[in-house]
Amino acid sequence: MANPSTKFKLAAHSQTVPIEAEVYLTLQHVADLLLRPLEETLKPAGLSHTQYNVLRILRGAHRDAEQYGEHGAEPGGLPCGEIAARMITRDPDITRLLDRLEARGLVARSRQKKDRRVVQARITSAGIQLLKKLDKPMDTMHRKQFAHVPATHLKQLLEHLKEIRSAVSQIKACAGDEEEAN
């Protein structure tokens, strides 16, 4: 933990806060700024960023199934709980999210034969085609977002962000799960 006496003033407030709080608030602000162009890029396709995330997760599962020769009635599908676990942002209502994608023909769902309680979702060919159309505009948007940052800085930032993400015990401790973290 950083020295508690290390504090900074937030630009918009006269209040002094610990550097960890400033880092957190800055990350939240930057995430919001980066999300806006993403939403604008997805708007013509009629997708939210969470729907896009689900489609990308399912495309990855589809590619894995093709690569490893998975066979069966629904190759490349994932149980809803697995999709929820892989989401970038937590969405408590994965069922409704899948309902919207299924209504558009981008996702198909079925019950597993081994355990009928488990619903498996897979991307459809229409979902794959939509993502193919979005790949280039998304890549262009991401390049524009970070065009002003040298590649070496981006690599350093990525390493630091991965380090923070992997510090699960620290994050759990902050959420009040101190006994689980120890």
pTM of the model: 0.77
The H or E element spanning position 28 is helix 19-42
The predicted structure's pLDDT at residue 14: 61
Cα(55)–Cα(122) distance, integer angstroms: 9
Residue 1 has pLDDT above 60, yes or no: no
Cα(101)–Cα(107) distance, integer angstroms: 6
The predicted structure's pLDDT at residue 68: 64
Cα(110)–Cα(118) distance, integer angstroms: 9
The predicted structure's pLDDT at residue 117: 81
The predicted structure's pLDDT at residue 110: 87
90-130 pLDDT, tens digit each? 777 888 999 999 999 999 998 877 777 888 899 999 999 99
* DSSP codes, 138-157: HHHHHHHHTTTS-HHHHHHH
The predicted structure's pLDDT at residue 19: 92
Asked if residue 10 lies in contact with residue 17, where contact means CB atoms within 8 angstroms, the answer is yes
Residue 5 has pLDDT above 50, yes or no: no
The predicted structure's pLDDT at residue 179: 46
Asked if residue 173 lies in contact with residue 181, where contact means CB atoms within 8 angstroms, the answer is yes
The H or E element spanning position 43 is none
Cα(151)–Cα(94) distance, integer angstroms: 35
The predicted structure's pLDDT at residue 4: 45
Cα(20)–Cα(22) distance, integer angstroms: 5
The predicted structure's pLDDT at residue 10: 53
Place of tokens 């620290």: 170
43-86 pLDDT, tens digit each? 999 999 999 999 999 999 888 777 666 554 456 789 888 998 88
| Closest by CA position to 102, among listed 85, 131, 84, 126 | 126
6-46 pLDDT, tens digit each? 455 555 556 788 998 999 999 999 999 999 999 999 999 99
DSSP state of 45: G
Cα(30)–Cα(47) distance, integer angstroms: 22
The predicted structure's pLDDT at residue 73: 41
